[in-house]
Structure 1
Amino acid sequence: MKIQNRMPKTDDRTHLNLVENEWFPMKEPKSLGMSILLSIPLMILNALITIGMINTFSTISLNEFGLTSDSISITLNLGVIIWIFLLLVIHELFHLVFIPNFIKSQKIFIGLTLFGGYVLTEEKISKSRYILVTMAPFIIISILLPITLSLLGILTPTLKALILLNSMASSVDILNLILLLTQVPKETVLINNGTKTYWKYKQNDKYNETTAY
C-alpha cells in the first residue's frame, strides 16, 4: 500500500499492453470533476435514501441542523472540521479494508487530493469484490450505522449530519457502480491503470479460485 497526495496517472504503454491482452476499457468520465458533476442527481437520491432510513428508526428534521423556515444557522468550528476530516478518513478506510491484501500490495494507493480522499488498486479484482469495495462506505456508514445508533438511542443531530454528508459524498461511488453494472458482464475480473478501469473475462485470464476475491 502506498500513501500519496495525488492519484496515480494512466500509463499509455500499460494501456496498449492491456488492450493487446484482451482487456476492455470502461467508458468513464475523463476527470474526477466531471464524475462529481454527473453524480449530483445521485447525491440527492443517496440523501433521500439515508433520510428514509433514519426516519424509519428515529426522527430527523431541518431544525436539528439549524435550518428553519425563516433562518439558517450553521456553526462551523474546529470540532466540526475534525469530525468531517475523520469521516473522510473512515470513508476511505472502508474502501481500503475490503481490498484483498491491501497491507502488503504495492499496487494499492490511498491519499488526499483537493477533491477529497481516494483509494485505488491496480491489482486484479473480481467484479463481485469490486462492487463490495465500491459500496462499502455507503452501506456501512449511511445505511447500517444509523439503524444501529437509532436502536441504541445515541443517534445525535451531529451524527445524523455526518451520516448524511457521507451519503452525499458516496454519489461518485454510486456513479461508478452504475457504470460497472451497465458495462461489465458477469464472470469478469477488473484492473485499474491509474484512474482508468478495464475488464476481462475470467476464462481469458490466468485467474482461478485460489486468487479470486
Structure 2
Amino acid sequence: MLIIIPITGVESMNRVRNGSSMPKWNEALDIKLIQDGWVSIEGPKKWGTACFVSVPFMVINVLISIITINIFSNISLQEFGYKADGSVSTTIYIWDIFFVILLVSFHELLHFIFIPNFMKSQKTYMGFTLFGGYVVTEEEIPKVRFLLITIAPFFIISVLSPFLFGALGILTLKVKVLILLNSIASSVDTLTIFLILKQAPPNSILRGNGLKKYWKYETAKSQT
C-alpha cells in the first residue's frame, strides 16, 4: 500500500486517474516539509528498493497465512502442482486472472475506506498501474489510524478470511492462492508498519511524499 501525496494538484490528479505511474518522491516537497517541522522516516524512496527490502516481511506474511490456513485445511507444495521429481505442473485459466484483478482492487479499496472522511476528502485518490494498485492521499493522519489503514488488507484478507472460508467449508485451492498472493503483495505494507513503529512517536501524525513518510507531533487540529 502507498499512502502518498500528489506532487502538484491537477497534474498529479491526472496521473492518478490515468494510472500510468505512481507519484514519486519530490525533493522540493521534502525540503518544504522539513522546514514546516516534519521529521523524515528513514526508508526506501523507490518502489523497487522497497520491494527488495520487504522480502523478509513477505516471508513472515506468508508464514502467518499458512499457519492460519492450516487451522482448517492442510496446505502443501503438492497441492500447488509440485511433483516428486521436482517438476511443477499447474493450469491457469482466464478467470484466474480476473480473480487476481479483483483481489488487487479489494486490497486497495480496504486501504481507501479506512482513510478518514474518504468519501468527502478532496485529497484522496485510488489508482492502478500495470504493477498493481495504490492509494494516494494528502491527509494528515494520526499514527494509530495510519497503521490501521496500512495493515487492514493483510489482516482482513490473509489472516481473518481463512477463518471465515474455513468455517464455511469453502477454503479451496484458489482461495488459498489468493490469500497467499495477498500476503506477498502486503510485504511493503508490513515494512512500512515496521518503519513507523520504530521511528514515529505515539502522539504523532503522518503524511507522505512518494514512498517516503514523515511524522510530526499531533495538534488539536489533526484528524482523529
Give the TM-score normalised by structure 1. 0.90
Q: Residue 190 of structure 1 aligns to a residue in which SS?
A: strand
Note if contact 2:47-2:211 (Cα within 8 Å) is conserved in structure 1. no
Note if contact 2:68-2:159 (Cα within 8 Å) is conserved in structure 1. yes
Q: Which stretch has the larger CA shift, 145-154 or 72-81?
A: 72-81
Note if contact 1:122-1:194 (Cα within 8 Å) is conserved in structure 2. no
1:48 correspondence with 2:63 = yes
Paired with 1:89 and 1:137, the residues of 2 have a C-alpha distance of 11
Structure 2 partner of 1:207: 221
1:121 correspondence with 2:111 = no
Tell me the CA shift for residue 206 of structure 1: 4.7
Distance change in 2, residues 1:72/1:129 (3 Å) = same
1:69 correspondence with 2:84 = yes
Tell me the CA shift for residue 3 of structure 1: 3.4
Paired with 1:11 and 1:30, the residues of 2 have a C-alpha distance of 10
Paired with 1:127 and 1:25, the residues of 2 have a C-alpha distance of 14
One-letter code aligned to 1:108 = T
Structure 2 partner of 1:15: 30
Structure 1 partner of 2:39: 24
Paired with 2:115 and 2:195, the residues of 1 have a C-alpha distance of 19
- Cα displacement string for residues 116-152 of structure 1 (whole angstroms, at most 9, x for unaligned residues): 1111221000000000000000000000000111011
Structure 2 partner of 1:183: 199
Q: Residue 3 of structure 1 aligns to a residue in which SS?
A: helix
Matches within 5 A, 1:130-145: 130-145=146-161
Structure 1 partner of 2:126: 110
Q: Which runs of 5+ in 2 are unaligned?
A: 1-12
Q: Residue 61 of structure 1 aligns to a residue in which SS?
A: coil
Paired with 2:213 and 2:124, the residues of 1 have a C-alpha distance of 14
Give the TM-score normalised by structure 2. 0.86
Structure 2 partner of 1:99: 115
Note if contact 2:25-2:45 (Cα within 8 Å) is conserved in structure 1. no
Q: Which stretch has the larger CA shift, 70-79 or 81-90?
A: 70-79
Distance change in 2, residues 1:140/1:87 (3 Å) = same
Note if contact 1:7-1:195 (Cα within 8 Å) is conserved in structure 2. no
Structure 1 partner of 2:4: none
Cα RMSD (Å): 1.7
Q: Which runs of 5+ in 1 are unaligned?
A: none
Paired with 1:194 and 1:62, the residues of 2 have a C-alpha distance of 37
Paired with 1:61 and 1:73, the residues of 2 have a C-alpha distance of 14
